[in-house]
Protein backbone atom coordinates (compact mmCIF):
# COMPACT_ATOMS: atom_id res chain seq x y z
CA UNK A 1 0.00 0.00 0.00
CA UNK A 2 1.39 3.38 -1.06
CA UNK A 3 0.51 6.27 1.29
CA UNK A 4 1.35 9.95 0.83
CA UNK A 5 2.21 11.53 4.20
CA UNK A 6 1.68 15.28 4.71
CA UNK A 7 2.66 16.36 8.25
CA UNK A 8 0.82 19.69 8.23
CA UNK A 9 1.07 22.74 10.46
CA UNK A 10 1.22 23.39 14.20
CA UNK A 11 1.19 20.08 16.06
CA UNK A 12 0.98 18.21 12.75
CA UNK A 13 4.67 17.25 12.41
CA UNK A 14 4.72 15.91 16.00
CA UNK A 15 1.54 13.86 15.75
CA UNK A 16 2.42 12.64 12.25
CA UNK A 17 5.84 11.42 13.42
CA UNK A 18 4.10 9.35 16.09
CA UNK A 19 1.62 8.07 13.51
CA UNK A 20 4.37 7.04 11.10
CA UNK A 21 6.07 5.05 13.88
CA UNK A 22 2.82 3.18 14.52
CA UNK A 23 2.22 2.56 10.80
CA UNK A 24 5.71 1.12 10.46
CA UNK A 25 5.10 -1.18 13.42
CA UNK A 26 1.80 -2.34 11.92
CA UNK A 27 3.45 -2.91 8.54
CA UNK A 28 6.19 -5.06 10.08
CA UNK A 29 3.84 -7.14 12.23
CA UNK A 30 1.17 -7.81 9.59
CA UNK A 31 3.30 -7.83 6.45
CA UNK A 32 1.57 -4.83 4.91
CA UNK A 33 4.58 -3.64 2.88
CA UNK A 34 3.56 -0.03 3.43
CA UNK A 35 5.37 2.49 1.24
CA UNK A 36 5.25 5.93 2.91
CA UNK A 37 6.11 8.91 0.71
CA UNK A 38 6.61 12.18 2.58
CA UNK A 39 5.67 15.53 1.05
CA UNK A 40 4.44 18.93 2.25
CA UNK A 41 1.24 20.96 2.31
CA UNK A 42 0.09 24.00 4.28
CA UNK A 43 2.56 26.67 5.40
CA UNK A 44 5.65 24.67 4.41
CA UNK A 45 4.30 24.21 0.87
CA UNK A 46 3.38 27.90 0.73
CA UNK A 47 6.99 28.79 1.56
CA UNK A 48 8.46 26.33 -0.94
CA UNK A 49 6.01 26.46 -3.82
CA UNK A 50 3.90 29.59 -3.36
CA UNK A 51 0.76 27.57 -2.62
CA UNK A 52 -0.44 25.45 0.29
CA UNK A 53 -1.19 22.62 -2.15
CA UNK A 54 -0.14 22.08 -5.75
CA UNK A 55 -1.44 20.29 -8.82
CA UNK A 56 1.69 18.10 -8.76
CA UNK A 57 0.91 16.97 -5.22
CA UNK A 58 -2.65 16.12 -6.21
CA UNK A 59 -1.36 13.87 -8.99
CA UNK A 60 0.93 12.09 -6.53
CA UNK A 61 -2.04 11.48 -4.26
CA UNK A 62 -4.18 10.23 -7.16
CA UNK A 63 -1.52 7.63 -8.01
CA UNK A 64 -1.16 6.48 -4.40
CA UNK A 65 -3.46 4.16 -2.45
CA UNK A 66 -4.17 6.59 0.36
CA UNK A 67 -3.33 9.92 1.98
CA UNK A 68 -2.50 10.85 5.56
CA UNK A 69 -3.16 14.55 6.07
CA UNK A 70 -1.85 16.20 9.21
CA UNK A 71 -3.64 19.10 10.91
CA UNK A 72 -3.59 22.29 8.85
CA UNK A 73 -3.86 25.98 9.80
CA UNK A 74 -6.95 26.34 7.63
CA UNK A 75 -8.26 29.46 9.38
CA UNK A 76 -5.11 31.32 8.32
CA UNK A 77 -5.60 30.49 4.62
CA UNK A 78 -7.90 33.25 3.40
CA UNK A 79 -6.94 34.18 -0.18
CA UNK A 80 -6.72 31.43 -2.79
CA UNK A 81 -5.37 33.96 -5.30
CA UNK A 82 -2.26 34.10 -3.10
CA UNK A 83 -1.98 30.32 -2.93
CA UNK A 84 -3.71 30.11 0.46
CA UNK A 85 -5.89 27.09 -0.31
CA UNK A 86 -7.54 25.00 2.41
CA UNK A 87 -5.75 21.63 1.93
CA UNK A 88 -8.52 19.64 3.58
CA UNK A 89 -11.15 21.15 1.29
CA UNK A 90 -8.83 20.80 -1.69
CA UNK A 91 -8.43 17.05 -1.33
CA UNK A 92 -12.03 16.40 -0.31
CA UNK A 93 -13.31 18.27 -3.35
CA UNK A 94 -10.65 17.18 -5.87
CA UNK A 95 -10.97 13.49 -4.95
CA UNK A 96 -14.74 13.65 -4.30
CA UNK A 97 -14.28 12.27 -0.76
CA UNK A 98 -17.97 12.41 -0.01
CA UNK A 99 -18.06 10.35 3.20
CA UNK A 100 -16.52 11.62 6.42
CA UNK A 101 -16.69 8.76 8.92
CA UNK A 102 -15.96 9.73 12.55
CA UNK A 103 -16.17 7.07 15.27
CA UNK A 104 -16.41 8.00 18.93
CA UNK A 105 -16.21 5.58 21.86
CA UNK A 106 -15.41 5.56 25.53
CA UNK A 107 -12.26 3.94 26.91
CA UNK A 108 -11.66 2.30 30.30
CA UNK A 109 -9.33 4.49 32.29
CA UNK A 110 -10.62 7.84 31.03
CA UNK A 111 -13.03 9.67 33.37
CA UNK A 112 -16.38 10.41 31.77
CA UNK A 113 -16.80 13.99 30.57
CA UNK A 114 -20.34 13.92 31.90
CA UNK A 115 -21.36 12.06 35.02
CA UNK A 116 -23.95 9.42 34.23
CA UNK A 117 -23.39 9.48 30.45
CA UNK A 118 -22.18 5.87 30.54
CA UNK A 119 -20.13 4.03 27.94
CA UNK A 120 -20.84 4.31 24.22
CA UNK A 121 -19.56 3.31 20.80
CA UNK A 122 -21.05 5.24 17.89
CA UNK A 123 -20.10 6.58 14.46
CA UNK A 124 -21.07 9.86 12.82
CA UNK A 125 -21.32 9.53 9.02
CA UNK A 126 -21.15 13.03 7.62
CA UNK A 127 -21.72 14.17 4.05
CA UNK A 128 -18.49 15.89 3.03
CA UNK A 129 -18.85 17.70 -0.30
CA UNK A 130 -21.78 20.12 -0.17
CA UNK A 131 -24.13 21.71 2.39
CA UNK A 132 -23.40 25.06 4.04
CA UNK A 133 -19.66 24.96 3.25
CA UNK A 134 -19.27 27.83 0.81
CA UNK A 135 -15.94 26.59 -0.54
CA UNK A 136 -17.28 23.35 -1.99
CA UNK A 137 -20.80 23.81 -3.30
CA UNK A 138 -20.24 25.88 -6.45
CA UNK A 139 -17.96 25.17 -9.41
CA UNK A 140 -15.78 28.25 -9.01
CA UNK A 141 -15.25 30.55 -6.06
CA UNK A 142 -17.46 30.51 -2.99
CA UNK A 143 -21.17 30.69 -2.33
CA UNK A 144 -21.11 33.45 0.29
CA UNK A 145 -22.06 36.85 -1.08
CA UNK A 146 -21.60 40.29 0.45
CA UNK A 147 -24.78 41.98 -0.79
CA UNK A 148 -24.15 45.25 1.03
CA UNK A 149 -21.54 46.13 3.70
CA UNK A 150 -24.13 44.97 6.24
CA UNK A 151 -25.73 41.97 4.48
CA UNK A 152 -24.23 38.53 3.74
CA UNK A 153 -26.08 35.67 2.05
CA UNK A 154 -24.71 32.12 2.36
CA UNK A 155 -26.12 29.48 0.00
CA UNK A 156 -26.49 25.80 0.87
CA UNK A 157 -26.46 23.03 -1.73
CA UNK A 158 -28.22 19.70 -1.20
CA UNK A 159 -28.36 17.15 -4.05
CA UNK A 160 -30.08 13.84 -4.49
CA UNK A 161 -26.82 12.11 -5.46
CA UNK A 162 -24.96 13.21 -2.33
CA UNK A 163 -27.88 12.38 -0.04
CA UNK A 164 -28.26 8.92 -1.50
CA UNK A 165 -24.60 7.93 -1.41
CA UNK A 166 -24.01 9.15 2.16
CA UNK A 167 -27.17 7.35 3.29
CA UNK A 168 -26.00 4.13 1.68
CA UNK A 169 -22.59 4.49 3.32
CA UNK A 170 -24.28 4.79 6.71
CA UNK A 171 -26.54 1.79 6.20
CA UNK A 172 -23.71 -0.37 4.87
CA UNK A 173 -21.72 0.51 7.97
CA UNK A 174 -24.66 -0.21 10.26
CA UNK A 175 -24.90 -3.72 8.81
CA UNK A 176 -21.42 -4.40 10.22
CA UNK A 177 -22.33 -3.00 13.66
CA UNK A 178 -25.54 -2.97 15.75
CA UNK A 179 -27.90 -2.32 12.80
CA UNK A 180 -29.29 1.01 13.95
CA UNK A 181 -29.20 4.24 11.91
CA UNK A 182 -30.23 7.65 13.25
CA UNK A 183 -30.95 10.39 10.70
CA UNK A 184 -30.19 13.92 11.94
CA UNK A 185 -31.75 16.89 10.15
CA UNK A 186 -33.53 20.24 10.46
CA UNK A 187 -36.47 19.43 8.19
CA UNK A 188 -38.86 21.38 10.40
CA UNK A 189 -37.20 24.61 9.17
CA UNK A 190 -35.13 23.63 6.12
CA UNK A 191 -38.18 21.96 4.68
CA UNK A 192 -36.97 21.46 1.11
CA UNK A 193 -33.26 20.68 1.55
CA UNK A 194 -33.42 18.62 4.73
CA UNK A 195 -36.82 17.37 3.67
CA UNK A 196 -35.18 15.79 0.63
CA UNK A 197 -32.31 14.48 2.75
CA UNK A 198 -34.57 12.70 5.23
CA UNK A 199 -36.85 11.34 2.48
CA UNK A 200 -33.89 9.86 0.60
CA UNK A 201 -32.45 8.34 3.78
CA UNK A 202 -35.76 6.61 4.49
CA UNK A 203 -35.98 5.44 0.86
CA UNK A 204 -32.49 3.89 1.10
CA UNK A 205 -33.51 2.30 4.41
CA UNK A 206 -36.03 0.13 2.56
CA UNK A 207 -33.07 -1.78 1.07
CA UNK A 208 -31.91 -2.62 4.62
CA UNK A 209 -34.93 -4.15 6.39
CA UNK A 210 -32.70 -5.50 9.19
CA UNK A 211 -31.69 -1.97 10.25
CA UNK A 212 -33.69 -0.02 12.81
CA UNK A 213 -34.15 3.61 11.72
CA UNK A 214 -35.08 6.71 13.68
CA UNK A 215 -34.57 10.44 13.16
CA UNK A 216 -34.04 13.54 15.26
CA UNK A 217 -34.02 17.27 14.67
CA UNK A 218 -30.42 18.41 15.11
CA UNK A 219 -30.91 20.64 18.16
CA UNK A 220 -32.82 17.92 19.99
CA UNK A 221 -30.14 15.42 18.92
CA UNK A 222 -27.47 17.42 20.74
CA UNK A 223 -29.44 17.05 23.97
CA UNK A 224 -30.03 13.32 23.43
CA UNK A 225 -26.34 12.64 22.70
CA UNK A 226 -25.27 14.43 25.86
CA UNK A 227 -27.92 12.69 27.94
CA UNK A 228 -27.50 9.15 26.62
CA UNK A 229 -24.91 8.62 23.85
CA UNK A 230 -25.05 4.86 24.37
CA UNK A 231 -28.45 4.67 22.65
CA UNK A 232 -26.89 5.54 19.25
CA UNK A 233 -24.99 3.39 16.76
CA UNK A 234 -24.58 5.01 13.31
CA UNK A 235 -25.64 8.63 12.87
CA UNK A 236 -26.01 10.05 9.35
CA UNK A 237 -26.33 13.75 8.65
CA UNK A 238 -25.41 16.64 6.37
CA UNK A 239 -22.07 18.43 6.31
CA UNK A 240 -22.20 21.18 8.92
CA UNK A 241 -24.43 19.29 11.37
CA UNK A 242 -22.07 16.33 11.16
CA UNK A 243 -19.02 18.50 11.70
CA UNK A 244 -20.44 19.92 14.93
CA UNK A 245 -21.97 16.67 16.16
CA UNK A 246 -18.81 14.62 15.63
CA UNK A 247 -16.72 17.08 17.64
CA UNK A 248 -19.25 16.81 20.46
CA UNK A 249 -19.23 13.00 20.45
CA UNK A 250 -15.43 12.86 20.31
CA UNK A 251 -15.15 15.18 23.30
CA UNK A 252 -17.77 13.16 25.19
CA UNK A 253 -15.54 10.11 24.72
CA UNK A 254 -12.82 11.82 26.73
CA UNK A 255 -10.98 14.12 24.34
CA UNK A 256 -11.13 15.47 20.81
CA UNK A 257 -7.65 13.95 20.64
CA UNK A 258 -9.35 10.55 20.40
CA UNK A 259 -11.45 11.49 17.38
CA UNK A 260 -10.35 9.44 14.39
CA UNK A 261 -11.64 10.48 10.96
CA UNK A 262 -11.65 9.00 7.47
CA UNK A 263 -12.65 10.86 4.30
CA UNK A 264 -13.45 8.35 1.59
CA UNK A 265 -14.94 7.61 -1.80
CA UNK A 266 -14.92 4.52 -3.97
CA UNK A 267 -11.33 4.93 -5.18
CA UNK A 268 -9.61 7.31 -2.76
CA UNK A 269 -9.40 7.86 0.99
CA UNK A 270 -7.71 10.29 3.36
CA UNK A 271 -6.99 9.77 7.03
CA UNK A 272 -7.20 13.00 8.98
CA UNK A 273 -7.41 13.85 12.67
CA UNK A 274 -10.71 15.37 13.76
CA UNK A 275 -8.97 18.29 15.46
CA UNK A 276 -7.05 21.33 14.22
CA UNK A 277 -3.40 22.35 14.22
CA UNK A 278 -3.40 23.77 17.80
CA UNK A 279 -0.55 26.23 17.27
CA UNK A 280 -0.68 27.24 20.95
CA UNK A 281 0.84 23.88 21.98
CA UNK A 282 2.98 23.21 18.91
CA UNK A 283 6.50 22.10 19.77
CA UNK A 284 5.65 21.34 23.40
CA UNK A 285 5.49 17.53 23.00
CA UNK A 286 2.06 17.52 24.63
CA UNK A 287 -0.38 16.98 21.75
CA UNK A 288 -2.36 13.75 21.73
CA UNK A 289 -1.37 11.72 18.63
CA UNK A 290 -4.13 9.13 18.98
CA UNK A 291 -6.67 10.93 16.78
CA UNK A 292 -4.29 10.86 13.81
CA UNK A 293 -3.15 7.32 14.67
CA UNK A 294 -6.73 6.05 14.80
CA UNK A 295 -7.36 7.80 11.48
CA UNK A 296 -4.40 5.90 10.02
CA UNK A 297 -5.95 2.68 11.26
CA UNK A 298 -9.19 3.57 9.51
CA UNK A 299 -7.25 4.17 6.29
CA UNK A 300 -5.69 0.70 6.56
CA UNK A 301 -9.14 -0.78 7.15
CA UNK A 302 -10.60 1.04 4.14
CA UNK A 303 -7.83 -0.31 1.92
CA UNK A 304 -8.26 -3.81 3.28
CA UNK A 305 -12.01 -3.80 2.71
CA UNK A 306 -11.72 -2.33 -0.77
CA UNK A 307 -9.13 -4.87 -1.92
CA UNK A 308 -10.19 -7.86 0.18
CA UNK A 309 -6.93 -7.92 2.15
CA UNK A 310 -7.56 -9.46 5.55
CA UNK A 311 -4.17 -8.44 6.97
CA UNK A 312 -5.08 -4.75 6.67
CA UNK A 313 -8.37 -5.29 8.49
CA UNK A 314 -6.50 -7.20 11.18
CA UNK A 315 -4.00 -4.36 11.47
CA UNK A 316 -6.78 -1.86 12.05
CA UNK A 317 -8.35 -4.00 14.77
CA UNK A 318 -4.99 -4.52 16.45
CA UNK A 319 -4.17 -0.81 16.30
CA UNK A 320 -7.48 0.17 17.87
CA UNK A 321 -7.05 -2.48 20.56
CA UNK A 322 -3.54 -1.24 21.29
CA UNK A 323 -4.83 2.31 21.74
CA UNK A 324 -7.37 1.11 24.30
CA UNK A 325 -4.70 -0.87 26.14
CA UNK A 326 -2.30 2.07 26.11
CA UNK A 327 -4.89 4.40 27.59
CA UNK A 328 -5.73 1.91 30.32
CA UNK A 329 -2.02 1.57 31.12
CA UNK A 330 -1.44 5.33 31.24
CA UNK A 331 0.77 5.21 28.13
CA UNK A 332 -0.93 8.27 26.69
CA UNK A 333 -0.82 12.04 26.86
CA UNK A 334 -2.09 14.02 29.82
CA UNK A 335 -5.37 15.12 28.22
CA UNK A 336 -6.61 11.53 28.56
CA UNK A 337 -5.07 10.80 31.94
CA UNK A 338 -1.70 9.55 30.73
CA UNK A 339 1.81 10.51 31.72
CA UNK A 340 3.66 10.69 28.37
CA UNK A 341 4.45 13.29 25.76
CA UNK A 342 3.51 13.06 22.11
CA UNK A 343 6.67 11.29 20.97
CA UNK A 344 6.81 8.83 23.87
CA UNK A 345 3.11 7.99 23.49
CA UNK A 346 3.65 7.17 19.83
CA UNK A 347 6.73 5.07 20.57
CA UNK A 348 5.00 3.19 23.39
CA UNK A 349 2.02 2.44 21.16
CA UNK A 350 4.27 1.27 18.31
CA UNK A 351 6.09 -1.08 20.70
CA UNK A 352 2.80 -2.39 22.12
CA UNK A 353 1.49 -3.02 18.61
CA UNK A 354 4.71 -4.76 17.57
CA UNK A 355 4.54 -7.10 20.56
CA UNK A 356 1.03 -8.20 19.71
Helix (H) or strand (E) holding 138: none
Task: Provide the 8-state DSSP code for 157.
Answer: B
Q: What angle do CA 66, 295, 230 make, to 5 degrees?
A: 140
Query: Which alpha helices (DSSP H) does the chain contain, by range?
Result: 12-30, 43-49, 55-63, 87-94, 160-174, 193-205, 218-227, 239-252, 290-307, 310-328, 342-355
In angstroms, the Cα distances linking 199 to 108, 122, 160, 210, 242 are: 39, 23, 10, 19, 18
Residues 137, 157 contacting (CB under 8 angstroms): yes
Half-sphere exposure of 51 (CA within 13 A, CB side): 12
Contacts of 35 (CB under 8 A, 6+ apart): 1, 2, 3
Please report, for residues 113, 137, 313, the alpha-carbon distance to residue 297 in angstroms, rounded to integers and kept in the order given: 25, 30, 9
Rg, the chain, Cα only: 20
Spatial strand order of the sheet with 66-69 comes to 35-38, 2-6, 66-69, 269-272, 262-264, 99-105, 121-127, 234-237, 180-185, 212-217
Report the alpha-carbon distance of residue 229 to residue 253 in Å, rounded. Answer: 10
Query: Which sequence positions are flagged as catalytic?
Result: 133, 186, 219, 243, 247
Amino acid sequence: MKIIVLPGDGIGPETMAATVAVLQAASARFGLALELTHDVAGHESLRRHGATVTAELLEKVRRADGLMLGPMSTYEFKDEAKGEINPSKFFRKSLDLFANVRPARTYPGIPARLAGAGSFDLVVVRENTEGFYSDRNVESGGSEMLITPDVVISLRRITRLCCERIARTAFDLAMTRRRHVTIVHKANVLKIGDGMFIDICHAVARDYPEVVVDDFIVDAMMAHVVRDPGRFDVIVTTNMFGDILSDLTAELSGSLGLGGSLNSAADHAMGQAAHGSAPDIAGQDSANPFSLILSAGMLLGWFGQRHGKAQFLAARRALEGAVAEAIAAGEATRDVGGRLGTRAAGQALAQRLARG
